Each structure stands twice: as structure tokens, then as C-alpha cells.
Structure 1
């Protein structure tokens, strides 16, 4: 058994739950890893040859680091808000990869220059007066967690920045300055060139609002979602933001349908939402049931999603994706298996073979969904709500049941992984004690059976 995670917490997590102690353990470990990653980035830059990290770029990184240290002395929590922001993770990983890669990495200079924007955002949040020079790319200068300045399209352009007396002034050659005020509701300006990070209301009273980040340069780059069609390359307008807010409305009560642990889970883990364009076939307004979402291991606390059409589907999306967040963080904290990376397993939610880790991740997330939709169905007063919930539950439950034997039969599970999988199996059987109506069960069984036949035909197994 891993000394890092007590067995009782593994059992909680195996039920797709997790109280404050379990979630706090995952969050603290991920935060520690982020800070170590940032330090590793600076050390890799110092060790890299001048052809990879020229002296000027290294000097700039060191100045940025000094600004971060000064800001942390002024307000540690404010700086951590920026450094631990989910979308700083993909940026840091890209930089570290570029600095240590055997071959030159396109875009590394721009990635390293982004550290200046990160440090500036931290200093602004810490209310530490400073002056500096940043670089806009593609007509946009993004300040993580705060917003972005629209600049002239074209090649990378310098932007002067200064914080004095609570006002941020952004200057570009040949343009009037843009002044931004730091307020309780965020970074605001009357100048239309400033695009603040939009937010959605807190999941529950007393928690922080949730950024709906359509600005950060690294929000979807390298996520793999680009290959699936949806993109995150445009900003939301007021109408689209209003539609997101409507889908989000009443989220806490919808999450609570799945148990008190669901809103608590969202408060503990969710740090930002990245809006994705609707997937192909969903219509221009995303108003159909077609939907896409995902998480990124390197962006702990972020959920990438197209807009769910109802609060119930928004809640289900968060339940699904936050299970991935928990399991990825748990896997980083303690090994769950020693299986290889070969993609050879059938998963009824995917047309392609999956590696063992992907199978475990998918089963865990679908088990959480099966639990959520069963609770929703049992509590629904209207048939129009109850029947779709039973259908969702039955499909997820049958999908999980189809892959549990492969998980349980693995000889490569660690002791911690065995506890987790055994608890998943126990939860699966507890859910089966309250089966869906026969028609839903029959359709779900046929769905999984058909998926297996098609998978075998397609993959020759």
C-alpha cells in the first residue's frame, strides 16, 4: 500500500467520492508539482545551450523570476493564484520540453517570453508597483487570470506595462495607452481593446467565481482536442457568455442531485472552464445534444467543454471530467498499475483500442456518471426527466460492466490500484441493486454488445 495515500482515502476515491481530506491531499500534491515544474524550467533554461536559450532570453527569465519573488513577498496568495492557475501548466510543460528536447522546438522563444506576462500578472495581483516590457503575439497580449490586450495584427510587438497607484497602464507604439483598474470583480477597463477574463458565478456561496477563460494562449494548444474538430481559438461575445451563464444557472442544485460530495468536489477541484466550439454536427449555436469535453493532466483544475444545453448536463459534464481530474492526480501521487502503454483494450465509449490506463480512466469517469444519473432518475418527478436519466445511467453502467473484468484481471495493479479497482467493483454492484426499467437496460445491453462487434470488426480482434 502506498504510504502517500491511506487505504480509507483510496476507498473513498474508489467510490468516485472523496472528502475534504482526500481532495486536499490531491490538490496539495498537484500544487507542489507545479512549483517544482516552474523551478525546473528556470534551471533547464540556465543549463540549455545558447542556441536554445540565448543569453538575452535567460536574462529576461531571471528578471521575471525576481519579479515573482518580490511579488510573493508582498502577497503570497495572490502570486499563487497565478502560478497555480491550471493553464500555466501546459505553458510550463511546453517550455521545459523545448529547453530539453534533442531537436529545436518551434515557438520556444515566444513560450519563454510568456513568462514575463505571468510574472506581470502576479505582480498586479499582489499590488506590487513595477514597470516592464511584454510581447504581444498574433494581435493579443494575454495576462494570465486577468485578461488580454488587443494589439495590431502582425509580428510579435513590444508592449510597455506599468502598475502604479492601483492602475495598470499598457503602452504600444503609435497607440494611446490602455488603463486597466483592478477591482473585486476582476481587471476592468472602459477601453474596448481590453478583454477581461469572464467568469461564471461561484458553484456555491462563499466559493470563488469560476473563470470562463477564452483568452489564455495555452488553453487548448497541444490538448489533442484540435484533432477532434472542436477548437478554442475565438473569444466569446456577450450573447455567448449569456448562454453559458444560463446553462450554468442552478448548477449547485443539479450537482447536489448526485450527492453532497458533488458540489464539494467541484468547489475543491474546478479552477477554470475553457469554452470549446460546438462539435461538428451540433449546429452553429451548439443547441443540439452533441457535446464535447475533456481535461488535461498538465492543467490540473481545468475543464475544457463545449456549452452543455442544460444545467443537468452541465452538472453531468463536471461529474465526468472531475473524475478524470481526481484519478490523474491520484495516479501522479501513487502508482496504480505497471501495465504498458500498448493500446489493445476494448472500451465501449471509444472506437479505437485503449491502453490500460485509458481504460481505467474511462471506467472511473463513467462509473461516476452512472451514479449521478441513477440518483437523478430516482429523484425525478417528471417522466420527461426520469426516462432520459435512466437511459444515461443504463448506458454508463453497462459500459463500466463491460470493462471491469479486464481491470480486475490485471496482474499489474499495485496494492493501491487493487484497492481502488475493488472499490469500483463494489460500487458497480451497489448501483446494480437499483436497476433501471427493463427497456432501458435492454437497450443499453444491446448498445454495448453492438459496440463490441463493431470494435472487433474494425480492429481485427
Structure 2
């Protein structure tokens, strides 16, 4: 039996690397899961009792699906850009949960979720250049077309037509229609302030697409549990904030390159959109604090949620950090890495609460990548202040990983693939010793982790350190 991932690829990933061929294996698997999820959604609607999915709603879903199929026959690549958009995942999962729920009938949330398939089909048809006319439903004053943008509207029902690159939305007699010129790449131009296009940042590498900064999709943080993880809420950004994001982004590519060609490759292959978050709670006025928060979502493969990093260097390190989570989650979906239970009982120096084994592995994986990145940054830095900052970050991350590697390596529940992965992490950890940080940074990092462990034990004494 041929393994889903050859060992040489697994070893690359264990070193937090991965060439484009290796990463595309993960991408193909995730894309297949997404397409199966969408098909499962339609099947669930067909199988649902009429009390959950009434005939009228089912007829609409079938019409939307037919438009998707027509668009895909015309331009498969354009349609897949919509279907595989990261934020379609949370929406599809939410629909499936609603369709499988028990109760007297569909609530307003499920109706709104199912209506969103019409907007998805319309966006796909627009990208494919298929002329159509349909009626869409807005919610909470916003009609979102995935990957394209959103219309601010007081109306609930919106008639939309598309013909030869021109999209027109009719909102009833009380509101003038909106026209927007749409390109196949998803860019939309309209002088009407009611239209909120998805802003796009330039591509990480030539030959790849731009990176959407999606602040209008209604499902961008749905079910993500932001607050319990110290993340702020999603936010809409104005022109001034877009400019600030773009300025910070402009410096990211050369800084990623400092971390090695693999850092550019993983960003180019894995990053499909950014979701802007507000500043972390308690961080002070916008723009006056270096405080930052970021995260990923397993069901939104390719999306990184982030507040605006204070500097391009922190922007680059955020991508390094979060794309390791993206990478490891995709790998875990392809091959099982361990059979440990889900109970939270392990000490992790980057968290105050006990972590399950899988969370410990995820955290160690992302932090060892950061330790490697900041070491390379420190060795390349010309300014003393930049070098000191990088050594401090490197020393802290490396010491944090060193505190948990014995737990990972000592697990008897690692699969063969998990053992290969952890062994490569250990190899990378020891390779970092070739260029140790200055003594002062190392001492402070050791004290930081030792203190974190004492505090953790005081809070969670009944758990395993």
C-alpha cells in the first residue's frame, strides 16, 4: 500500500519546511475535503425532513447548484476560486449542523445560511463570466458575494443581473440600482460607496495570485471562539487602515526570505486570505501598541486571522507562526500522527491553561519554526536593535519548545508518521545550537520559562507539568 505522504516529504514537514510539491499534496487533500463537504451539504438538504428544509428552500438550493455546475463547465478554475475560498468552509459546516439538527423547524439562522448558497453560486458565475439573473437575500444590512465584496443595503431581497462583465443590483423602488464592473480575477470597480470590494494585497511570489484581505465575509469568524483564545473580533477596515496593511505587507516578502526559501514557498502555496481582526483586548488605542493577536481555523484552510502587525517583521513572523498550524492541521487530516486522548493535562509555556497532547504538538511545531526564523533574522540583521529583538524572540521560543519536546518524544501513542515528525523537530531543535544566542538572552529565556512553569503549577497543580 502506497503511503499518502512519502517519508522524504514527511521529514521536510518535520523540519517545518516543505517544498511546493510537498505542500501541494496537503493542498490537494484539503481541496478534496472541501468539495466533498459541499456535496455533503446538498445531500443533507435532500435527506432532511421538510420541517428542516422545506420544498421551497430545497428547490432554491437545486437551482443554485445547477448554476454552479454551469459555471464550472465554463471555467473550472474561476469557480474553484470561490468554492475553495477558506471562509466557505465555516459556512458549509454551519449549514450541515443546522440540517442535521432536531427541532420543530428551521430557524432564521439556518434559512440565512442556506440562502448564502445563492450568493456563492452568483459569485462563481460572475467569475466564470456566465450571464444570469437571480434574487439574493441580504442579512443584517449586508449582501455578501464571496471573494468579490458586499453591498450595504436596507433591503432584504436583492435582484442581481450579470452580463458581459457588468453586475447590477436592484434593491426596490426606494433605492437606486448599483452597478459594478467585475473582472474574472474577482476585482470589482464601482464608484458607489454602498459597494464594499474585497481588498487584495499583492502576491507573495510572481506567478501566484494576490492575497485577499477579507473584511466583509459574514462567516469569517463564525464559530471560531475568538475571545476564549485571546483574539479580538473581526473588523471592517477603512481606506486609511487598508493603506497601513498594504505598507506593512510591502516589507513582508524580503523578511520572509530571510527565514529561507521555504518560508516564501509556504506563504505562496498555503495562504489564501487574511481576515483582519481588531487590536487585542486591553491593547490601548489603535496604532499605539505593539500588542498583537492571530489565529487559524481548521475548517477555514488557507485563512490567517490577524490584527494588524506593528511592523513588517512581526507580520512575517505571524505568517511563519500561523502557517505552521495550517500545515500541521492539513498533515494531521491526511495521516494520523498520534492516538493520544483529548484531555487537557500538559504544561505549555505559551499558555496558562493545560493543553491536550494535540495542542502541545501544534504549539511546539509553530514555536520551533519561529525559533528557526528569528535565529536566521538575528544572523542577518545589520542593526543592533533588530538583532537584539530577534535573539530575544529566538531564545524564548527555543526554550519554550525545549520544555515540551520530552513529552512529545516520550509518547507511546505516536504513530510511525508522528514519530518521524517529532524526530525531525528534535533534529531541528539541536541544529539551532550551532548558533546560540548571546548569554544574556539565553538566561532571560530560561528564567521566563521557569517562571511560567511555576505559575502554571500553582494554577493547575492537579495536572501534569
Residue equivalent to 1:442:
443
Residue equivalent to 1:140:
142
Distance of 2:250 and 2:447 partners within structure 1: 35
- TM-aligned CA deviation for residue 208 of structure 1: 1.2
Distance of 2:102 and 2:409 partners within structure 1: 39
Question: Is the contact made by 1:272 and 1:303 (CA closer than 8 Å) also made in structure 2?
Answer: yes
Q: Deviations over 1:31-57 (max 9, x none)?
A: 000000000000011111111111111
Residue equivalent to 1:7:
7
CA shift in 2, pair 1:204/1:287, >3 Å: farther
Residue equivalent to 2:67:
67
Residue equivalent to 1:223:
224
Question: Is the contact made by 1:219 and 1:232 (CA closer than 8 Å) also made in structure 2?
Answer: no
- TM-aligned CA deviation for residue 207 of structure 1: 2.1
Q: Deviations over 1:204-240 (max 9, x none)?
A: 2332111000000000111111445644443211111
Distance of 2:305 and 2:399 partners within structure 1: 26
CA shift in 2, pair 1:37/1:332, >3 Å: same
Q: Deviations over 1:60-115 (max 9, x none)?
A: 11110000000001111000000000000000111111111345775111111100
Gaps of 5+ in 2: none
Q: Deviations over 1:357-390 (max 9, x none)?
A: 0000000000100000000001111111000100
Residue equivalent to 2:333:
332
Distance of 2:142 and 2:335 partners within structure 1: 40
Q: Does 1:273 align with 2:263?
A: no
Q: Does 1:163 align with 2:155?
A: no
Residue equivalent to 2:26:
26
Distance of 2:271 and 2:33 partners within structure 1: 17
Distance of 1:118 and 1:234 partners within structure 2: 22
Question: Is the contact made by 1:2 and 1:334 (CA closer than 8 Å) also made in structure 2?
Answer: no
Question: Is the contact made by 1:169 and 1:177 (CA closer than 8 Å) also made in structure 2?
Answer: yes
Distance of 1:147 and 1:54 partners within structure 2: 29
Distance of 2:175 and 2:300 partners within structure 1: 35
Q: Deviations over 1:5-46 (max 9, x none)?
A: 111110000000001111010000000000000000000111
Residue 349 of structure 1 aligns to a residue in which SS?
coil
Question: Is the contact made by 1:232 and 1:274 (CA closer than 8 Å) also made in structure 2?
Answer: no
Q: Deviations over 1:119-177 (max 9, x none)?
A: 0000000000011010000000000000000001xxx7110011112211111112111
Q: Deviations over 1:291-321 (max 9, x none)?
A: 0000000000000000001111100000000
Q: Does 1:124 align with 2:126?
A: yes
Residue equivalent to 2:291:
290
Distance of 1:55 and 1:227 partners within structure 2: 39
Residue equivalent to 1:323:
324
Residue 34 of structure 2 aligns to a residue in which SS?
helix
Distance of 1:45 and 1:442 partners within structure 2: 59
Give the superposed CA RMSD: 1.4
Question: Is the contact made by 1:214 and 1:232 (CA closer than 8 Å) also made in structure 2?
Answer: no
Distance of 1:252 and 1:287 partners within structure 2: 24
Moved more, 220-229 or 66-75: 220-229
Question: Is the contact made by 1:404 and 1:425 (CA closer than 8 Å) also made in structure 2?
Answer: yes
Distance of 2:134 and 2:28 partners within structure 1: 32
TM-score, length of structure 2 as denominator length: 0.96
Residue equivalent to 2:405:
404
Residue equivalent to 1:112:
114
CA shift in 2, pair 1:198/1:14, >3 Å: same
Residue 304 of structure 1 aligns to a residue in which SS?
strand
Residue 360 of structure 1 aligns to a residue in which SS?
helix
Residue equivalent to 1:151:
153
Residue 400 of structure 1 aligns to a residue in which SS?
helix
Q: Does 1:308 align with 2:323?
A: no
Question: Is the contact made by 2:153 and 2:194 (CA closer than 8 Å) also made in structure 1?
Answer: yes
- TM-aligned CA deviation for residue 433 of structure 1: 2.4
- TM-aligned CA deviation for residue 289 of structure 1: 1.6
Distance of 2:321 and 2:31 partners within structure 1: 22
Question: Is the contact made by 1:141 and 1:148 (CA closer than 8 Å) also made in structure 2?
Answer: yes
| Paired residues for 1:17-96 under 5 Å | 17-96=17-96
Q: Does 1:16 align with 2:16?
A: yes
Question: Is the contact made by 1:258 and 1:375 (CA closer than 8 Å) also made in structure 2?
Answer: yes
TM-score, length of structure 1 as denominator length: 0.97
Question: Is the contact made by 2:230 and 2:280 (CA closer than 8 Å) also made in structure 1?
Answer: yes
Distance of 1:287 and 1:101 partners within structure 2: 45
Distance of 1:171 and 1:410 partners within structure 2: 61
Q: Deviations over 1:398-445 (max 9, x none)?
A: 000000011011111010000000100111011122210111011101
Gaps of 5+ in 1: none
